[in-house]
Amino acid sequence: MRYDAVIVGGGLAGLTAGISLQKAGKKTAIVSTGQNALYFFSGCFESIQEPTPEILSLFSEAGVRVHYTPGVRLMPMGTFKESALALDDVSLFPAPDFGKKVLIINFMAYHDFFSSFLAQGLEKQGMECRIRFLNLGDLAQPELGPNQMRAVQIARKLDDVWEKVVQEVRVLLKDEDTVVLPQVFGLNDASIPERIRQGIPARVVFAGTLPPSVPGIRTQNLLKKRYEVLGGTYLLGDRVTGAHVYEDVVQNVVTKQLDRHYLEADHFILASGSFFSKGLSSNPFKIYEPLFELDMDYDTDRNTWYDPTFANHQPYLGFGVKTDAEFHPSRHGVPVKNLYVIGSILGETHPELGSGAGLAIRSALQVTQLITGKP
Amino acid sequence: MQYQEYTQSENNFEECTKCTVCTAYCPVMQVNPLYPGPKQAGPDGERLRLRDPGFFDEALKYCLNCKRCEVVCPSEVRVADIIQAARIKFENKPPKLRDTMLANTDTMGKLARPFAPLVNFATRQPVTKVALDFTLAIDRHRTFPTYSAHGFEGWLKRRRKEQAAFQEQVAYYHGCYVNYNYPKLGKDLVKVLNAMGIGVQLLEDEKCCGIALISNQLIKKATKNARFNVEQLAKAVDKGLKVVTTSSTCTLTLQEEYPNLLGVDNSAVRDSLLMATRFIYEKLEQGATLPYRPDFHKRVAYHTPCHMQRLGWGVFSQRLLQMIPGIEFIPLEQTCCGMAGTYGFKKENYATSQAIGEPLFEQIRSVNPDVVACDCETCKWQIEMSTGYKVDNPISILADAIARTD
Amino acid sequence: MRVPDCSVDPFRLCAANMLDAKLHGGQVRLQTEVTGILREGNTVKGIRTHNRNTGADQEFYAPIVVNAGGVWGQELAQMAGIKVGMFPAKGSLLIFAHRVNNMVINRCRKPSNADILVPGDTVCIVGTTSSRIPLEECRNVAVTPDEVTLLITEGMKLAPRLASTRILRAYAGVRPLVSADDDPSGRNISRGIVCLDHEVRDGVKGLITITGGKLTSYRLMAEMATDLVCKKLGVDKACETAIHPLPGSEEGSYEEVAKKIWENPTTAQKVAAARMGSRVSRIRSTDRRDEALICECEQVTMGEINSAIDRLEASTLTDLRRRTRVGMGTCQGEFCACRAAGLLAKAHGCIEKERADIDYFLQERWKGNFPIGWGDTLREAEYTQWVYKHVLGI
């Protein structure tokens, strides 16, 4: 099959590139090995201090509700982190205006939302907290078994009965000015978090849980749908296993499932992610990019890959594929003319683009501009 | 000495990073609290089973083998295969009569055919269904597929000469469904391929692909069928023929389950095995044409069967349908229909099956298509029974959309 | 060639011994550090302690103090003004992510580095090395890259499959080798069990030291020590620990034990029975919520964790890890650390302490992961970093 661009990797970077290219009239395909880091998305688009209209319309056109409020957000362990652009679910407020009295709501037998640590973290900062537990079995039948109490399964139930949660919280609410709920709302309906806010006479803050991330899955679904509605082909569960490169130009890529049915394109975008998704690989002696064997930026002395203190920044997280100003990588110093690299596989090689979501989105949009020739 | 040159552990289950994506997407997990989930049943459980076979969990029987866990795994862990392989190795329970009957599709087909009208009449009667419910625990709500009085093989054999006249030839692995229950699909395939100037021949012989035998732990028979089928496929491949199929599950079984679960080597034939939609699409991409009817209009919703999603070839069926002039094509969001072959017939699974399929049924109702397109026969039974909408294989829709060539 | 070898679950062994002592009337105080030995003239009267959980200091008196402090034995003896020369020997080992063998595999040669591969629970362990380290380093032993290389290359000779098996973690321990005499050069390291009667050796009554030896001979060492204690106390009884099974180790395979308690045991219940023996009856519960898996990798339920907190003196994540295997699976605490910390906080009420405990636990896990930080281990580490730093904000 022939495309204008084939994108290796269907995470935030790949989807952003795919959506923007389709919007610009290009025919694209995305190949994705399973799900991606959006699955445990915190809801906050890191390192995007000032979103451009392009970034905002990317989300609004896909039905992803975001808001831009430079300030801080509440982390699940009771601390605050600077943020500016986040999903609707994630409240952002100017520090330190969080509240004085907090009612924290959790579900019985749900072990992935750390209400006591959240409370302790807030109390250390001078707030008064009260924790109350709701019984999910009272709200929705049939009751979930003890090992079905995961964010995504709870969210599926709550999609139907979230109004009951609002009622219960209203009954429990005393004189608190802030209510904290776990991020288990709005799996399929992005409007639910806002509707919950409207139903509770206090500031409502949704705090994260252990993966899966309900807002993350919702966002992934919305972006993928948007891509497909624009005419993109999302090949889920397939993996690019090889490429034919001739005279520094990628001719086509081979996938595991399509085997001899090569994917041909004018442009190829590598958005295969970091170690987690095997966009980068490692053995005791080296770190490398396994698909094209692209030149990398890292220190070959393994001892430099790690900081022995877990809490410190880990060097290996910053390793990435080397590219020029136009995101072209090289093999043995020779640039690959029609290959672009975007997203977390870049590591910290483009510090001006930020990290995480900021890196993914910015690099994807810039590459789209390069490919379409439009600003 | 260089050590660990490879980053991929040779033990696929060790690549699991415990992200739990598989568990979040498992259809059984959502409705059945007794199922531990793919991560636990698969890679977690494997470490325990390697320690001691006694840690094998009977609850693995609730796995549908839909392979959705494999499709969503970011680490390429073949979760469903790990679970099925564990069941094959450790689930040493002799299959019940019911399971043996459900799984032996060739035998049941051969027995039923001479009495097809009578059998079809009987299985429609509530009293029969209740009796089967009580005696064999086949759920009384379940609609049985009908048997055809005339097999597909006989029909094609009678046209051997005319098919041989075509310059290009292809072999067809039709599977037990087309032969015993629904020869029309086979006839539709012949119509479409003939319209492209391609003649269709049977394999010298074939048996049921064996997926039902595998699911019901009749491994010896499944392996026998597998070896037999690979031999027959090889005969066709040696003649330079490609072999096409119309069932996504048959294809997955022949391609993947044979080597991965049964240890049957199919490397000589694997590359020549293609779903018909892929085969036809690739031909059209290379310049072949089809005589589409100008008066064809249909609102078609495409459902990707789970095994098709795993094969990664749903894109071919979709593309093929989209190319038909006059088609209003609506891709449905991929979600399991809940039937999983013989799984949904069993009384103990019926409620789970229906609960799993409900989101799909709702989608179909809201789309309100003229027909649902789907490459899997058991999806067809499930959707027709649960929604009342007609389901056709993309090949049948394509056959309907082209002018008659005779 | 087969030799009569076997492997033991050292965590279960330790817990069972502790339980046995308690069942016979002994008191067990964990997180209690000995900060001084009370000596009046030439007689030891007791010990001074500091409780790390409560912060309280307390004194205990007894006619005999037994110094079984392993490599810390030198420091303890020092508190009584006695010199016991320890020559700590560090040993490093590698843990592989699953069992490649179900029998112990030995190199048939003179004892050397990395000549044994031992299956244990869900993993197998290759070891070990031996290098002298100064006493000060014992508080912070680390596995060096050279040791990792050695263990892998030698381990591959034992089992070539190890070359393509995921390594779970690297860890190091310290052997309490002790000099038979006062010679500071350490030329006379005792290879066997060392039982010191300080009344005879140093003229100080009321203190004995038992050290040296190996895990295999731990019971014999205890017998030697208790025989000496009994002699001093005038107790005329023979030691019976060689004939009585430890709690939980009465007749029955784990399957039989589990089936007796739960008619149709789940895998998690069977795994608990394998960990606890017949003691597993304690975690039988009518509340389904007790079946929630806190550590999925090792199948540790909430019921088992609460039982370890209640009955096995577990008050930190590290304690829980040793009693139940929480955090010892392939995710190395990624999911279970916070969940288990939540249960601990609920039990002992100090959330601040548990919050710090999480940091400590994660650091301790990381210590064993980065020496083998490549391949799937590095992928896991990245995921852990993302979850803890970006999602949870730790």
Element (H, E) at B329: strand B327-331
CB B383 within 8 A of CB B389: yes
**Residue C190: alpha-carbon gap to chain centroid:** 23
pLDDT at B2 over 50: no
**Domain co-membership, A79 together with A135:** yes
Q: Is C374 in the B-facing interface, judged by CB distances under 8 Å?
A: yes
Portion 238-297 of C in contact with A at CB < 8 A: 288-294
**What is the number of structural domains in chain A?**
2
Q: What is the pLDDT of residue B7?
A: 37
B56 touches chain C (CB under 8 A): yes
Q: What's the start-to-end Cα distance of chain B, in Å?
A: 71
For A355, which residue in chain C has the nearest alpha carbon?
C390
Q: Which of A150, A179, A211 corresponds to the end of one domain?
A: A211
Question: What's the gap in Å between the CA of B4 and the closest CA on chain C?
Answer: 5
Residue A56 lies in a domain: no
Interacting residues of C263 by C-beta distance below 8 A, sequence separation 6+: none
Q: What is the ipTM metric for this complex? A: 0.95
Q: How confident is the prediction for chain B on average, in pLDDT?
A: 91
Residue B51 vs residues B80, C87, C102, C119: alpha-carbon distances, Å: 20, 37, 7, 8
Which ranges in chain C belong to alpha helices (H)? Answer: 10-23, 73-79, 145-158, 198-202, 218-233, 254-261, 267-276, 302-311, 317-324, 336-348, 351-369, 376-385
Residue B3 touches chain C, beta carbons under 8 Å = yes
Segments of chain C scoring below 70 in pLDDT: 180-188
**Is residue A21 one of the residues assigned to a domain?**
yes
In this structure, are strands B243-245 and B273-275 parallel, antiparallel, or unpaired? parallel
The answer to whether residue A169 is domain-embedded is yes
Residues A247 and A113 in one domain: no
**Is residue A119 in some structural domain?**
yes
A180 domain-assigned: yes
Verify that A77 and A196 share a domain, yes or no.
Answer: yes
Interface of C with B in 20-59 (CB under 8 A): none
Question: Domain check: are A90 and A141 in the same one?
Answer: yes
In terms of Cβ atoms closer than 10 Å to its own Cβ (0-12, 13-18, 19+), residue C163 is middle
H helices present in chain A, as ranges: 12-23, 53-62, 115-124, 136-139, 151-172, 192-199, 214-229, 356-372
Domain membership of residue A89 (yes or no) is yes
Are A226 and A201 found together in one domain? no
pLDDT for A56 equals: 95
CA distance B116 to chain A (A): 39
Residues A148 and A114 in one domain: yes
- B20–A144: do the CB atoms touch at under 8 Å? no
pLDDT beyond 50 at B190: yes
Q: Which of B1, B17, B58 to mutate to test the interface with C (most CBs of C within 10 A)?
A: B17
Domain that holds residue A269: 2-41+218-372
Touching partners of C (3+ C-beta pairs < 8 Å):
A, B
Interatomic CA distance for residues C341 and A102, integer angstroms: 22
Residue that terminates a domain, selected from A211, A233, A258: A211
Using the beta-carbon criterion (under 8 Å), do C380 and B18 form an inter-chain contact? yes
Let me know whether A366 and A279 are in one domain: yes
Cβ-defined contact of B15 to C374 (cutoff 8 Å): no
Would you call the peptide bond into A142 cis, given omega within 30 degrees of 0 as the criterion?
yes
Task: Please check the confidence at residue B3 and state whether its pLDDT lies above 90.
Answer: no
Q: Is residue A11 included in any domain, yes or no? A: yes
- Domain of A314: which CATH number? 3.50.50.60
Mean pLDDT for B253-276 is: 95
B306 vs A94, which has greater pLDDT?
Answer: B306
Instruction: Provide the shortest C-alpha distance from residue C244 to chain A (in Å).
Output: 39
Q: How far apart are CA C310 and CA C290, in angstroms?
A: 14
Residues A182 and A250 occupy one common structural domain: no
Contacts 24+ apart (CB under 8 A), B222-230: B222/B262, B223/B262, B223/B263, B223/B264, B226/B258, B226/B262, B226/B264, B227/B264, B229/B173, B229/B254, B229/B258, B230/B258, B230/B264, B230/B265, B230/B266, B230/B268, B230/B269
**CATH code of the domain containing A127:** 3.40.50
- Rounded CA-CA distance B56/B84 in Å is 12
| Confidence at residue B1, expressed as pLDDT on a 0 to 100 scale | 38
Which residue among A191, A211, A231 closes a domain?
A211
Cβ-contact A152, A187 below 8 angstroms: yes
- pLDDT digits over B227-246, tens only? 999 999 999 999 999 999 99
Pairs of residues, one from chain B and one from chain C, whose beta carbons lie less than 8 Å apart: 105
Residues pairing with A73 in the sheet: A81, A92
C121 chain-B contacts, CB cut-off 8 A: 51
Place of tokens 């046209």: B159
Q: Are residues A97 and A138 in the same domain?
A: yes
Same domain for A196 and A81: yes
**pLDDT value for B93:** 81
Report if residue A135 sits inside a domain: yes
Interface partners of chain B (CB pairs < 8 Å, 3 or more) are A, C
Q: Specify whether A355 is located in the same domain as A237.
A: yes
- A225 lies in the same domain as A276: yes
Task: State the Cα–Cα distance between residues B101 and B395, nearest whole angstrom.
Answer: 29
Chain C residues touching residue A37 (CB < 8 angstroms):
386
pLDDT in 10s for each residue of chain A, 375 residues: 999 999 999 999 999 999 999 999 999 999 999 999 999 999 999 899 889 999 999 999 999 999 999 999 999 999 999 999 999 888 888 876 778 999 999 999 999 999 999 999 999 989 999 999 999 999 998 889 889 999 999 999 999 999 999 999 999 999 999 999 999 999 999 899 999 999 999 999 999 999 999 999 999 999 999 999 999 999 999 999 999 999 999 999 999 999 999 999 999 999 999 999 999 999 999 999 999 999 998 889 999 999 999 999 999 999 999 999 999 999 999 999 999 999 999 999 998 998 899 999 999 999 999 999 865
- Residue A174's pLDDT is 95
The confidence band for B132, taking pLDDT boundaries of 50, 70 and 90, is: confident
Q: Is the pLDDT of residue B5 over 60?
A: no
Identify the closest residue of chain A to C338 by CA–CA distance: A114
Q: Can you list the domains of chain C with their CATH numbers?
A: 10-82+184-233 (3.50.50.60), 87-177 (3.30.9.10), 283-392 (no CATH)
H-run or E-run covering B163: helix B160-164
- Report the pLDDT value the prediction gives residue B101, as an integer from 0 to 100: 80
The candidate with the shortest Cα–Cα distance to A81, out of A104, A47, A119, is A47
Give the residue carrying structure tokens 């055809």.
B148
Q: How many helices (H) and strands (E) does chain B have?
A: 24, 8
